[in-house]
A and B are shown apart, each in its own frame.
Chain A
Amino acid sequence: MKVSASDWLLLSPELFLTAAGLLILSISAFFDKAKEEFLAFLTLLFVGVAIGLVAFLSGYGGRGAPIFAGMFIVDNFAIFFKLLMLVSIVLTVLASIQFVGRAPYPAGDYYALLLFTGVGMLFMVSGNNLVSIYVALELMALSSYILAGYFKLEIKSTEAALKYFVLGAFSSGVLLYGLSLVYGIAGRMGLPDLAKLFESQAKSNLLVVGILLILAGLLFKIAAVPFHVWTPDVYEGSPTPVTAFFSVGPKLAAYAILARIFYVGFPKFHADWGLIIALVSAATMVFGNVAALLQTNVKRMLAYSSIAHAGYALMGVLGFRTEFGLWGILVYLLAYTFMNFGVFALVVFLETKGYAAESVADFNGLARRNMTAAVVMLVFLLSLAGIPPTAGFIGKYYLFTSAMKAGYAWLAVLAVLMSALSLFYYFRIAAAMFFSEAEGAPLKSSYALTAAVLICAAATVIVGVAPQPFVEMLRACVIKAP
């Protein structure tokens, strides 16, 4: 195996973040609780450097070819996801500072784990080989199990971690089994090699089982029906900034890798997995939306809402070999990251103010206590419901077009009706914020959290009103269909 300096350079963000995580972990022992904020700023600094490195790589000529003997690839697709995931980590840190500061647990572990999860995600979207993908996915998953249980003395947090771990480990097993079946048949692991091999080979039943198992393992990560059952409990029990992170970061990685494995690895069998994904997508959006209608707990409602959004996003995976296919999912994920994180960030805001933010009623009268927070929340809710002119509308527009274009008109009809239905539960929160006459003292937010929320809100509005530069940039990030 020949490894050039350029290979190391292309993986520098990952390597740097690994070192940063270890550094934070080791120096955190020297900080007492009162000074832990410094660790947060250090984390922000490190992630900022990593963003700089990725941004540098986006202009680097050596990108786009497989590196480390085909284990990884740093193409525009990967670079887009890396940037978005790093931004989601920045947002998570901003939303965590006050939250973690009050908790009686060491913050160093928290930030280090966040960075390790990030390393796993970054490696994952660059994965070009079944083994490297699997190892990266496990790194991400193991770190996130611990993050879910970070409030270790609280029953709910521990329960969330346990459930996440048991079900997650099981799904990893399923995924691994699928990978090994595919390896058994093909005798190779690299995605392009697999595609080349299957080009000339008829599919066997065993291969179909292998592909299905891989699909199942990945659908678990993005919480698609019927692999979604862990989501509400984990989202409810985890510390809220972690929930916010889970709802975007690891999901981004899972979508990316789902797209990459199936686009690059199994393009020939699209007719088979396409219909399955369409059915899963339909079931996911119906179940997610209907279940969300019945929730009174905000975190659970948002958990089901993010299940529903996983269903929409799967429509983008369908648009194989159409001009809107992967492009749609990229535009959508850009919008989703900011709007979904924003919603959870506002739940964090209420929690740090002593509200459990458990029931919708905790939002009562928010408009009177902090108008800006209420308006910003409204923007996120409108965006989630897909009302123009917000990023959510643009994202959904691309997904609907890719489903139509891919020939799944029935799915597009179902999706638009479901997204209209979703307004009903999103606007329960809007109604609570604006219609309730509840009085109370004004609420003020911490600077860090305000920054996180405003970044999300600005992105949601800007992508919605002036999408052109973003969609054009993303067009260049699509994996070229083989």
Chain B
Amino acid sequence: MHLMGIWIPILSIVTYIPLAGALAVVFFVPKERTGAIQAISTVIVLVDFVVSLPLWFLFERGRESYQFVEKLSWIPSLGVDYHFGIDGISLLLILLTTLMGIIAVACSYTAISTRQKEYYVLLLLLQTFMIGTFCSLDLFLFYVFWEVMLVPMYFLIGVWGSDRRLYAAIKFFLYTLAGSVLMLLGIIALYFYNTTGFLSYKGLGQPPTFSIEKLTAVAAGMPAELQIWLFFAFFFGFAIKVPMFPFHTWLPDAHTEAPTAGSVILAAILLKMGTYGFVRFSLPMFPDAINTGWVLSVVITLSIVGIVYGAMVTLVQKDMKRLIAYSSVSHLGFVMLGVFALNMAGLQGGILQMVNHGISTGALFLLVGMIYERRHTRMISEYGGLARQMPIYATYFLIMALSSMGLPILNGFIGEFTILQGAFAKNFWWAFSAATGIVLGPAYLLWLYQRVFFGEITNPANATLPDLTAREQLTLVPLVVLALWIGLYPKPMFDVLRVPSEKIVAAVGGRTLPSPALARKPAPERDPSLAVEASRP
């Protein structure tokens, strides 16, 4: 980015502001001064958010290539570069991350009372690693951020979590690590395919590189059977992180045991790493593998099972946090379905739904955290009739529950609708099966709402609960605004996503039609793909 003729590495600045803040706290603030630590952390994440805003305004919507690119040689022996750059997909996720960073810090002032210095340092470190992951255009660099991110999260769960935190923390770490090391092998195989070859595969003899752009082109040219192997190597890394159906068991534990900020970050950002990986790597890199019938069937089946199974398990949860955690399995199943519909509507809907899920599920975890702080229990049976005692709280909760279940005028609807549109265009039965999840969504959320908020206050412990403070409301308002914005006028989001999505859909050989009904662009612009479509018998 150029400002007054001076080149500014804005992505690096956005990425490392939290790291710098963390180091400042470590070295210059004694741990007794908790007020100062909170204040510094807040300022840091606020500054980071403000610095990240120009990305949104200066981002050129129509440009095909990556923007705000920074490139330095890092390990030339291996061809590793320090290479940052973003497209519309990473742009949205980075902004979501910087925003959620503020909320995560702000919701911790009273919730965290022990070892505060370490807590805020870890939160800030996590912020840097997450943004770095979304910015990376070099696979090696991406992998470094991707993996090191687990460390602060492990400690956030393990130190400040609830009763079974040790178990949840190590389970989270081991599961995700097992997936990512397989991805590492996939990366190595790709690297060799590009250079000198491995096993029986003759390499292309190109200079060594980890550039995502270059390796994407290389991977797409690989023989189909190698693509399938590598697809699954990457698949484990991403599917565990999403998490997709049989790999999801770490998620309820991690979410439930984590402190509120941890759950919010997990739900809003960390889960998106997996779907982001699918969008950024799996789709454009392995089109032949994906278009192999059984591979696609496996992925879609797992997604649909995730949607339905996740929703049904959600229904029977007794713990609010666990309930919302399981609902994530269902929602992320939707995202996966959209992404693997391999058309514009599905992909754009899937990506938008990633953001939506971050907003609404993040907010729900935030809300559960607020009531937990007051009552120190998350059991649904402990509550009832809260609407009388805490009307403001009840209102926010309702808005966010409605957003999560996909009510029109709120964000969830746009995402789910677009995904279903994409799925329908690809295969009627996919859309049909997934739609059952949409039916179950309101069931578990409204039932939860009914049990917690309606009726008389039966538990005397709830009779004196104070309603939300101004600070608590302040953390929720931006999320409500965003939910409404995306719900009413999603076009800016689709505008940002259109070009990168087109590129990916074209790479994976899918149909560029239909583009989402809600973001139809003027007819003349859609021509090349349309012409191809029309000419098909």
A contacts, CB < 8 Å to B: 323, 367, 382, 386-389, 393, 397, 400-401, 404-405, 407, 409, 412-413, 416-417, 419-421, 423-424, 427, 431, 434-435, 467-468, 471-472, 475
Contacts and interface: CB of A to CB of B under 8 A. Distances in A.
Interface of B: 74-78, 118, 143-144, 147-148, 150-151, 154-155, 158-159, 165-166, 169-170, 173-174, 177-178, 181-182, 184-185, 188-189, 191-192, 196, 198-199
Nearest to B78: A471
B184 A404 contact: no
Contacts of B159: 434-435
Nearest to B117: A371
Given A404-B185, A468-B74, A417 B173 contact: no
Contacts of A404: 185, 188-189, 192, 198-199
B174 A420 contact: yes
B148 A388 contact: yes
B191 to A, nearest CB: 8
Contacts of A434: 155, 158-159
10 A-B pairs with least C-beta separation: A416-B181, A388-B144, A420-B178, A420-B177, A471-B77, A468-B75, A420-B181, A435-B158, A389-B144, A404-B198
Contacts of B198: 404-405, 407, 409
Given A393-B144, A431-B169, 18 more contacts: A387-B148, A388-B143, A400-B184, A400-B188, A404-B185, A404-B188, A404-B199, A405-B192, A405-B198, A409-B185, A417-B182, A420-B174, A420-B177, A423-B174, A423-B177, A427-B170, A468-B75, A475-B77
Contacts of A412: 185, 188
B498 to A, nearest CB: 34
**Majority SS at the chain A contact face:** helix
A92 B148 CA distance: 30
Contacts, number: 87
A387 B77 CA distance: 20
Given A404-B185, A407-B198, A468-B77, A435 B166 contact: yes
A179 to B, nearest CB: 35
B77 A416 contact: no
A393 B174 CA distance: 16
Contacts of B188: 397, 400-401, 404, 412
Nearest to B181: A416
Contacts of A386: 181
A30 to B, nearest CB: 47
29 contacts: A367-B118, A382-B151, A387-B147, A389-B144, A397-B188, A400-B185, A401-B188, A404-B198, A404-B199, A405-B196, A405-B198, A407-B199, A409-B189, A409-B199, A416-B182, A417-B178, A420-B178, A421-B174, A423-B173, A431-B158, A431-B169, A431-B170, A434-B159, A435-B159, A435-B166, A467-B75, A468-B74, A468-B76, A475-B77
B151 A413 contact: no
A297 B408 CA distance: 59
Contacts of A435: 158-159, 165-166
Nearest to A435: B158
Nearest to A437: B114
A419 B159 CA distance: 24
